[in-house]
Structure 1
Amino acid sequence: MTQTDLMSWRMEADPVLRSTIVSIIVLDRLPDHERLTAAMNHAIDVVPLFRCKAVARQFPWKPPLWVDDTDFDLSWHLRRSSVPPPGGWKGVLDFARMSGMAAFDKDRPLWELTVLDGLDDGATALVVKVHHSLTDGVGGMQLTREITDDTRTGAPTRDSDERRPPVVLPTHENPRAAMTEAMARSTAHAVRHPVATMRDVARILGSTARMTRPATTTMSPVMTARSTCRGFGVIEFPVAALAAAAAGTQCSMNDVFLAALLLGMADYHRGRGDVPTQLRVTLPISLRDSSDPLGGNRITLARFALPVDIADPEKLIRRVHIIVDRWRSEPAIPLSPYLARMLNLLPVAVTGDMLKHMDFVASNVVGSSTPLYLAGARITRQFAFSPTLGAAFNATLMSYASHVCVGINVDVRAVPDQPALMAAVAEGFRAVLALEPRQIDSMVTTSC
């Protein structure tokens, strides 16, 4: 495991901080079992971690090792069940949230996939549960593309009975050696450019302080309690409307997404009689580049405050853009693995308390822009419910084909009235999407 993975692994000493990702993939019909099995075998070959288990080291500050599970049994991970009558969407959400609340068996690879039949109109849902150390959102989308087809009749990936050799995991670079090499390069640069080096050191030290600054209070006056109980809800609307709102403000779709959440939070707090001026967000930032293999968790977390007291959607989007752009440009971002190593030396209670003072988590994952098929079934929607990481809720936006699918994972003790939160956030999206031209469909639907 990397130091970033070790941090999420150690945090699970407190079950409130579990790093479980749940995804719901909605299909128009039941997938072919043999083709689905072949696709999952291919996925395991592409990302060997999916047939490995994590084995703890002698010292707790050393990351666990990924070891080939010689008892790996695909049938244990690939399951089938039925949605209880009347077979509606709420039954799928309930199944997914219960799955997300259950701890992994850490003597096995950390993932499960359940095929849920019994939905209306013959539809099927796949509920995928995976530990964050196996993949992040971007890696998950890359893996999805490996096991899907562009047509319903796409050829099976491989013979499901074909035997595979034992996994040989790549060896990772020694972090101590890497740091020593980096220090040697830095020393040589300092000798040649002493003044510039001093300025760079000052910038990096300041950035490091900002990235690791502890949060000792929760900015929300009402979303303060924390628990292990979760509620799932979804919001969806046309991706063209989000793109138009972003283009109209000359900002990114992520900026519009964050502004919608903030407008929703202002509305939610207003209904409880206490609106803060700011809320603190955890924003995952991808460190992945084209040379990285599929899978793995290659993100860092930026934690900062965003305004809740700007009622004008366009002004709020532009303000969010400035703040987020500044944080994405922090000089310490490339040093995140070393910062994680430093934080892993702290007691779990200390780092866990910092995370529990975050108000919400917001993540944005770019999905396929064209329809995909899995084992003969067409994917109609795809929702992700990322971990709350100690916050009151996590909102994960995923674009797929013509739609935006937002999965909201709520700590029900922090937000006891989940329908009110969902309604407020939906109104936030309606407010930002109203900035786009009238001829673009901007209908927002919600369910929980």
Structure 2
Amino acid sequence: MTIPDEAARPYNRAERTPPQRSARRLSGLDAGFLALELREQPMHIMAVAVLRPAADGETSAQITLDDVRRHLARRLNVLPALRLRVQPVPLGLHHPVFVEASDFDLDHHLGSATLPAPGGSQELDRLCASLAGSCLDRRHPLWHLTLVDGLIDGRQALVFEVHHCLMDGTAMLTTFARLFAEEDPQPGGRCCGWRPERPPSRWRLIADAIANQRGMFAGLPALVRKTRRGRAVICQSTAGSSIAVPRPGADAPACSLNLGYTPERRFARASLSLADVKLVTDVAGVSVNDVVLSVVAGALRDYLEQRHVLPNRPLVANVPVGMKTPGDPARAVGNRFTRLATSLATDMGDPWARLQTISAVTRESKRRLDLMGREVLGEWLDFLPPAITCAVVRRGYRRRRSHPDHLDTNVTISNIRGPARPWCFGSAVVDEMYVSAPPNSGVGVTFVMWDYAGTLLVGILSFADSVADPGELAGGLSRSLSELVTIARCRRGSSASLAGGSACNVRPVTGEAAGTGTGTAIRLATAGTHVAGGDRL
């Protein structure tokens, strides 16, 4: 199918571009993700959408790369993150700025791939792992979309890569809701009419950086006082507390999960029943996020115990915490979140006691975070110029190589709210969508939980030298949730439900039955039907 040039490239380069406005400066958190990127440490988010082609008579009409190109061209005006290029400030005076790419070429950001036979989950996961191991080109807007053919049953997939400096979970949800919307923003196949602005001049970048820095440093004394007050309040309120909140950089035990030094990645997916998660939530009197953390903790404990490398001290999790409040406008660009550290209680063999411990520690960690102020971390990051941030990142990388026991946290676990109904891409239905976050800074494996149309879908991404087969962790998630569901049903007195054979609807996305393994408590056979913001804290 032939597509008009204006749909493939949504503007005529010979036309006069609009006058420049003040460029949007990256926040300290945005810029931090750029600084964290090394050759061995790409820092882009990845989303894998599995498509079910629309039925066309007796056959299924698959989408083509031309369809993808046309779909995006008509939506560029409502997808600002896809048009933005990172422009460094001369002399590194301040954080870079986002500028609209004047040489934007949609074809540069599109690609295609065909899976080798049989086109199953393992083949798709290997392709995703290879894409996750390469950095995006900073000369262009930092995203790429790959159309994948060759899946079993005639299905297709879209693998979307976007640099973390461009968006967090909340911005990603806004972007995807527009990208995968059924409504066409430009009926009749017209292109979006977007025109890039002229980029700011070198001198404009320098002048804006100096003016911005002057205003920021004027507020530094107030930020220092705010931080001191927060620390004092926390010390006063926690005096005599029996709940120990782990300290990042001090309490994380040395672990094989944190040997992340190679650019090679491994990727796996899992599917969990959101109804089962909510059952445990209701019976235990904890939050959905507590159950998610406990499910991951159980999987990690079994994985490490089977290899006889389970640390004596509990693993420490890094948990991103969103800052969206009711009434906030939709945000499609940038990062606005903080983080907390919590114990995964992997030193405890009882799954139910582990859940209650995780809940108590996480609740206390969140309380301390709110006493300090969720915005404080981001405000301090705004003050760090790129030269200092990059130097700190590289020093930390060298330190971890020589002292692998010096860890901030062991694992990152994100939990994002997704759409209640399945999305579409053109004529295709998005049956499944999995999201993954880049492992970095000593964290060798990340878990992103994403409730999509009533199912909790999990993306697991790891350094190859930290977790060689994250599929084992995917199976461990299934077994870990099964344990909690079994206990919850027993506590609720649902013996008849258990006898009926509907133990729990949960499985790893591998096409194979989950192994039994060794570890704790009860094991159940699992079954299910084949089907990945804001935080839940």
Do both share a fold (TM > 0.5)?
yes
Residues 14-25 of structure 1: pairs in structure 2 closer than 5 A: 14-25=38-49
* Structure 2 residue corresponding to 1:108, chosen from 140, 146, 153: 140
Residue 91 of structure 2 aligns to a residue whose secondary structure is coil
Query: For the Cα contact (< 8 Å) 1:33–1:375, is it kept in 2?
Result: no
Instruction: Indicate the residue corresponding to 2:412 in structure 1.
Output: 361
Instruction: Indicate the residue corresponding to 1:377 in structure 2.
Output: 428
User: What's the CA shift for 1:334?
Assistant: 1.5
Residue 219 of structure 1 aligns to a residue whose secondary structure is coil
1:320 to 2:332 alignment:
no
Deviates more, 1:175-184 or 1:88-97: 175-184
Assess, with a 3 A threshold, how the Cα gap between structure 1 residues 34 and 278 changes in structure 2: closer, same or farther.
same
Which amino acid letter does the alignment assign opposite residue 429 of structure 2?
A: R
User: What's the CA shift for 1:134?
Assistant: 1.0
Assess, with a 3 A threshold, how the Cα gap between structure 1 residues 225 and 155 changes in structure 2: closer, same or farther.
closer
1:302 to 2:354 alignment:
no
Query: For the Cα contact (< 8 Å) 1:260–1:431, is it kept in 2?
Result: no
Assess, with a 3 A threshold, how the Cα gap between structure 1 residues 238 and 424 changes in structure 2: closer, same or farther.
closer
Residue 397 of structure 1 aligns to a residue whose secondary structure is strand
Which amino acid letter does the alignment assign opposite residue 131 of structure 1?
A: H
Query: For the Cα contact (< 8 Å) 2:248–2:341, is it kept in 1?
Result: no
Whole-angstrom CA distance in 1 between matches of 2:409 and 2:74: 38
Deviates more, 1:119-128 or 1:32-41: 32-41
* Structure 2 residue corresponding to 1:433, chosen from 461, 485, 507: 485
* 1:384-428 Cα deviation digits (max 9, x unpaired): 111112312101111111311111112221223544433333322
Whole-angstrom CA distance in 2 between matches of 1:443 and 1:281: 26
1:3 to 2:28 alignment:
yes
Which amino acid letter does the alignment assign opposite residue 3 of structure 1?
A: G
Instruction: Indicate the residue corresponding to 2:241 in structure 1.
Output: none
Assess, with a 3 A threshold, how the Cα gap between structure 1 residues 224 and 100 changes in structure 2: closer, same or farther.
closer
* 1:115-145 Cα deviation digits (max 9, x unpaired): 1112111111000011001111221112111
Assess, with a 3 A threshold, how the Cα gap between structure 1 residues 258 and 200 changes in structure 2: closer, same or farther.
closer
Whole-angstrom CA distance in 2 between matches of 1:138 and 1:252: 20
Residue 443 of structure 1 aligns to a residue whose secondary structure is coil
Assess, with a 3 A threshold, how the Cα gap between structure 1 residues 185 and 102 changes in structure 2: closer, same or farther.
closer
Residue 296 of structure 1 aligns to a residue whose secondary structure is coil
User: What's the CA shift for 1:65?
Assistant: 1.6
* Structure 2 residue corresponding to 1:414, chosen from 452, 460, 466: 466
1:443 to 2:505 alignment:
yes
Query: For the Cα contact (< 8 Å) 1:38–1:156, is it kept in 2?
Result: no
* Structure 1 residue corresponding to 2:381, chosen from 331, 336, 340: 340
Whole-angstrom CA distance in 2 between matches of 1:91 and 1:309: 35
User: What's the CA shift for 1:28?
Assistant: 0.5
1:262 to 2:314 alignment:
no
Assess, with a 3 A threshold, how the Cα gap between structure 1 residues 16 and 328 changes in structure 2: closer, same or farther.
farther
Matched-pair identity in %: 21
Assess, with a 3 A threshold, how the Cα gap between structure 1 residues 308 and 212 changes in structure 2: closer, same or farther.
closer
Question: C-alpha root-mean-square deviation of aligned residues, in Å?
Answer: 3.4
Please, what TM-score do these two structures have when normalized by structure 1?
A: 0.85
1:165 to 2:198 alignment:
no
Q: What is the aligned length?
A: 434
Deviates more, 1:29-38 or 1:97-106: 29-38
Unaligned runs of 5+ in 2: 1-25, 54-61, 201-207, 238-243, 401-405, 490-496, 511-537
Which amino acid letter does the alignment assign opposite residue 507 of structure 2?
A: T
Which amino acid letter does the alignment assign opposite residue 331 of structure 2?
A: P
Unaligned runs of 5+ in 1: 191-196
* 1:18-60 Cα deviation digits (max 9, x unpaired): 3111110011013366664354235432232321211222233
Larger radius of gyration: 2
* Structure 1 residue corresponding to 2:318, chosen from 272, 279, 282: 282
User: What's the CA shift for 1:175?
Assistant: 6.7
Residue 59 of structure 1 aligns to a residue whose secondary structure is helix
Assess, with a 3 A threshold, how the Cα gap between structure 1 residues 10 and 205 changes in structure 2: closer, same or farther.
farther
User: What's the CA shift for 1:216?
Assistant: 6.0
Whole-angstrom CA distance in 1 between matches of 2:357 and 2:448: 21
User: What's the CA shift for 1:213?
Assistant: 6.2
Query: For the Cα contact (< 8 Å) 2:245–2:361, is it kept in 1?
Result: no
Which amino acid letter does the alignment assign opposite residue 274 of structure 2?
A: V
Instruction: Indicate the residue corresponding to 2:16 in structure 1.
Output: none
Whole-angstrom CA distance in 2 between matches of 1:16 and 1:323: 33
* Structure 2 residue corresponding to 1:93, chosen from 125, 130, 135: 125
